Amino acid sequence: MTTITTDADGAFVRSSSFVDDRITADGSDGWPVEPGRYRLVVSLACPWAHRALIVRRLLGLEEAVSVAVADPIQDHRSWRFTLDEDGRDPVLGIRYLGEAYERARPGYDAGISVPAVVDVPSGRLVTNDYPQITLDLSTEWRAHQRAGAPDLYPEKLRPAIDAVAEEIFRDVNNAVYQTGFAQSQQAYESAYHRLFDRLDTLSEHLATRRYLVGDTITEADVRLFTTLVRFDAVYHGHFKCNRAKLTEMPVLWAYARDLYATPGFGDTVDFDHIKRHYYLVHTGINPAGLVPVGPDLAGWSAPHGRDALGGRPFGDGTAPAPRPDLVGRGYRGFASPRPLG
């Protein structure tokens, strides 16, 4: 289950401890890029793991890096493969992600988190460094990306992308958790105001630009989207981020719908997993374990009108091919044991 750590002021503190080995084209960390060797373990509920699913799909790395989907409901041993036949991941042969952590770090007693990349031959965790995983998929796996894959981390824009990504992490991605898990009124209000101040700034910025950095989708947009798509379903009520719903912030709501309609974004969203995870796992916040029926998701497919701002979603590249089994449903219903491609 979820472990919440707070500081002396009652503010939520996210763990900064990672198994931070890297898979690189030159194998300098001991893990060379090799199609078919690694398995990406995700929860469809987790925004950090969702980033990796989006980037993998946009870049066409489905055949190069397989995916394992954990049950959105954790138990005392954390992420488990109860969605798969016999409760085991069919490739790794394990019941719990923690088994891969233990093989990599015997006696490992820190958090078991997703996304995690596991070496299939050895069954060992390679990395759970979620900020780096997506950057490496963009830069180190170029030789195995699909023809027409977009450049999500163009070299000339990296300083700007990194700066925006840091603000988004501090004031949006992590701030919703700091709001929801605060153990004092002061800590809650501090995170709450920081969150909405940043959302106001982002709204102003995106009012005249289709994307966060440059005129194409970049890593920065991926990182913002995974929080926005969970906002009304979870963060507004469950985490008390309730100054306004996403649907009441016109610019961000249109921006999020624009991305949702883009192949690779909306077709990797599973609202069922998202809601069941947050509302059933966070028993300290929701002791009755009630999962809300709403919100109404019909608005996600409404016209967004942001084409008028210009921009080229994939730059000089192309969109990933449609997935008929996913369109309009995200991964819902295909979490196991059917491969996600």
Catalytic machinery residues: 46, 177
What are 273's two structure tokens? Answer: 């997993």
- Which residue's entry shows tokens 């306004």? 244
Amino acid, single-letter form, for residue 330: G
What are 36's two structure tokens? Answer: 């078919």
Q: Which three-class secondary structure state does DSSP give residue 182?
A: coil
What are 213's two structure tokens? Answer: 């950095």
Q: Which three-class secondary structure state does DSSP give residue 149?
A: coil
b/e string for 18-37 if b means 16 or more Cβ within 10 A? bbebbbbeeeeeebebeeeb
Q: How far apart are CA 151 and CA 142, in angstroms?
A: 9
- The answer to whether 92 and 25 have CB atoms below 8 angstroms apart is no
